Amino acid sequence: MVFDDASAEFHDFFERHYAELSRLAFLLTGEADVADDLAADAMLALWHRWDRLRGADHPVAYARGVVANMARNRTRRAMRERSRIRVLWAGRSERIDEPDLAAGLDVRAALARLPFRKRSCVVLRHAFDLSEKEAAQALGISVGTVKSQTSKGMAELRRLLGGQASGDLVEEGFSGRRPRASAPGR
């Protein structure tokens, strides 16, 4: 297969960054299959803009922003859908209690409970070791917002994890090891 320069550059970009973008999507959504889909969709969007992006200073930062926006939009759609379902089931007399998540709470479950912006800041800062400035660029927010949301997110994770050494747990949770899609309880 013969590539022109742009195609070869994009192919190289894809090979170097797809796994990272998929990992970012996984940590933002908590769903392995969704993460792969989001990373693929983001790469497709990047390919359509590659002529403009290939000369950019930080195309990876732009790609992270695309993934974060796609994950946020997916989360919003899911929340709207859950709200619609709740309204439909509100009139029923039988109720199903929420499962007791506290008993088996791990870092990924705790992350899933954080609001999207806090989760994004914590993931980009701690899982991807981005600077506050890089995280701000990826999310399209100010450095001060990244600082405050990261601090608040980490405090909330400590609270959710029951006072355990959250720094160590967060590092384990961000190790990049994703459970298999068929793994029970994940």
Q: The domain spanning residue 68 has which CATH number? A: 1.10.1740
1 falls within a domain: no
User: What is the span of the domain harbouring residue 170?
Assistant: 101-180
Cβ(137)–Cβ(58) below 8 Å = yes
Q: What is the pLDDT of residue 90?
A: 58
Mark whether 56 and 105 lie in a shared domain. Answer: no
In a domain, 108, yes or no: yes
CB atoms within 10 A of CB 112: 18
> Are 14 and 87 within one domain?
yes
Same domain, 124 and 172: yes
Q: Is 37 among the domain residues?
A: yes
- 186: in domain: no
Residues 55 and 115 reside in one and the same domain: no
Last residue within a domain, chosen from 46, 71, 92? 92
**Same domain membership, residue 105 and residue 88:** no
122 and 58 within one domain: no
Contact call for residues 63 and 21 (beta carbons, < 8 A): yes
pLDDT tens, N- to C-terminus, the chain (186 residues): 556 888 899 999 999 999 999 999 999 998 898 999 999 999 999 999 998 888 788 889 999 999 999 999 888 887 777 766 665 555 555 555 554 443 334 678 888 889 999 999 998 998 888 999 999 998 999 999 999 999 999 999 888 877 654 454 455 555 444 433 333 343
Structural domain ending residue among the three candidates 43, 73, 92: 92
Domain boundary (68, 92, 116) is at: 92
Question: How many structural domains is the chain composed of?
Answer: 2
Do 81 and 122 lie in one domain? The reply is no
The pTM is what?
0.55
Do 137 and 164 fall within a single domain? yes
Instruction: Tell me: do 118 and 49 sit in the same domain.
Output: no
Domain co-membership, 139 together with 119:
yes
Alpha-carbon gap, residue 21 to 124, rounded angstroms: 11
Report the b/e string of 58-93 with b at 16+ CB within 10 A.
ebbbbbbbbbbbbbbebbeeeeeeeeeeeeeeeeee
Assess if residue 16 is contained within a domain: yes
- The neighbour count for residue 176, using CB atoms within 10 Å, is 12
Residue 62 falls within a domain, yes or no?
A: yes
Residue 51 lies in a domain: yes
- 40 and 109 in a single domain? The answer is no
